[in-house]
Amino acid sequence: MSNSDTELVVAIPREADPKEKRVALVPAMIPALTKIGLHVRLQTNAGRAAGFPDQQYLDKGAEIESDRTQLLQHADIVLQVRALGGNDGVESDDVSLLHDGQVLIASCDPLTFPNSVTAVAEQGVTAFSLELVPRITRAQSMDILSSMATVAGYRAVLLAATAAPRMFPLMMTAAGTLKPARVLVIGAGVAGLQAIATAKRLGAVVYGYDIRPAVREQVESLGGKFVELDLESEQSETQGGYAKQMDEDFYRRQREAMKKVIADCDIVITTAAIPGRKAPILVTTEMVEAMAPGSVVVDLAAERGGNCEVTNPGETIDHNGVAVLGPCNMPSDVPVHASEMFSKNAVTFLQLMIEDGKLNIDLEDEIIRDTLLTQGNVITNGRVRELLDMEPLDPAASSENGGDSAVTDESSDESVVAGDSAAP
C-alpha cells in the first residue's frame, strides 16, 4: 500500500518524442528515491524502449499510471530526459498539464530555444535544465553532458566502422597484410576522448586534434597521436580548462592547416559544439573532396548545424565517394546504458533538493542556482533572459528567484572543439 498521499510524487512520463528511446529513471535507482521519502509513478511502458519493462519498476515499488494527464497533473516532481526545447521540435501538450509550484527536471535546451522557457514560466513551474549543471568537481556525478558525450563518442566510432569499406585493425593474413585504418578525431573533450579510446581498441591508428595544447597528454594516454598545427593557440583555453570559441580568422587558418591532415585519413570524427550556437565549420567541402573515395566523416555536431560543410542532419550523404554521416541524438541509440547514466545524474541532482522528504530549493547552492530556469512565474536564468531581450533581474528579485544565474563565461564558451556540449 502506497503512502503517496503524504509523500512527494515523482512522475516519469514516456518521452514526447517517439524517436527518443531513453527513460529518465531506471528501476535500479528507485530505492535511492524511496530512501529519501519520494514515491515514483511511471507512465505505462515509459521504460520499454530502453529495455526496462513495467514489471521491473513495480518490483522496485513504483506505481504504473496509464493516463498521461493524470500522471502529470498529480505529480510534485516531473523527471524527463527531454522537455521544452529539448524535444527537438516535437510538439507536446505537456506544459499545459503542469501546474503552479510543480518541479520539472529535464534536458531543456534553453539556450537554443529560449522561447520554450516562457511557456513553463507562465504555468508557475519551477524548471531546472540539467545541461546547465556547472562544471565543478562536486557536480560531476550530475553532469548529463559528459555522460551523454561518452555514449556519443563510443557510438560514433561504431557508425564509422560500419560505414567504412575497410576494417580498422592491422591484419597479417595468408592473403596479404591489411593496413590499419587511420582515424582522426577532432576535439578532445569527453566525446572525442571516448572516440579515440574506442577506435584504438578496434585497432586503428588514431590521431587527435584540439586547439588546447594541454590535452595532448590525455590524447596520448589513450594511444592516440596528437596532431599539432602551426597555429597560435595560447588563448584557446578558458580558466576552467575548456576549449574557447575563437575568431573566424583562427578557424580559417585552422581549416587550411587541417586539410592535409584530413586528406591522409580514412575516418574523420568531429565533436565540436557550442551551447546555444551553431557549430563551427571545421571540415569544409574542399577537405571532404580531398579525401579518398571510401572515406567516412561522422559529424557529432549535426544537431547544431554540423562541423562539416557537407553534413545534412539525420542523413548520410555520399559526396564524391565519401560518406558523411550526420547522426542525431546518438545516446538514444544506446538506450540501456544511456538511461542508466542519465538516471544516476538526475537522481543525484534531485537528492540535493530533498530534505526530510520535502523540497528544499537552496539557491545558495550554485548547482541548484545555475540550473534553475524558472520559479514563481519568473525566468531566473540570466543567459535565457538575455536571449529573450529581457532586463536583468534586480538584486532583490535575484535573491528570491535564483539570481541572475547566467551560464558562466567558462561554461558558455567551453567545448568548442571538445564535444561535451552536444545535445543530450
Residues designated as active site? 135, 140, 143, 146, 242
Contact between residue 374 and residue 128 where contact means Cβ atoms under 8 Å apart: no
Given the DSSP bridges, would you call strands 171-173 and 205-209 parallel, antiparallel or unpaired? unpaired
Question: What spatial distance separates the first Cα and last Cα of the chain, rounded to whole Å?
Answer: 36
**Cell 529573450 found at:** 388
What is the rounded CA–CA span in Å between residue 89 and residue 67?
A: 23
The Cα 151–Cα 32 span in angstroms is 24
- Half-sphere exposure (CA, 13 Å, Cβ side) for 293? 2
Contact 271, 417 (CB under 8 A): yes
DSSP H helical ranges for 46-143:
54-59, 68-73, 94-97, 115-122
> β-strands 296-299, 38-43: how paired?
unpaired
Listed in order, strand segments (DSSP E) in 132-291 are 171-173, 176-178, 182-186, 205-209, 225-226, 267-270
Backbone phi and psi for residue 280, each to the nearest 5 degrees, phi listed first: -70, 145
Give the angle 142-143-149 at the CA atoms, nearest 5°. Answer: 140
Q: Report CA torsion sign: 190, 415, 141, 16.
A: negative
- What percent of the chain is helix, strand and coil (3-state, nearest 5)? 40, 20, 45
* Separation CA 381–CA 372 (nearest Å): 6
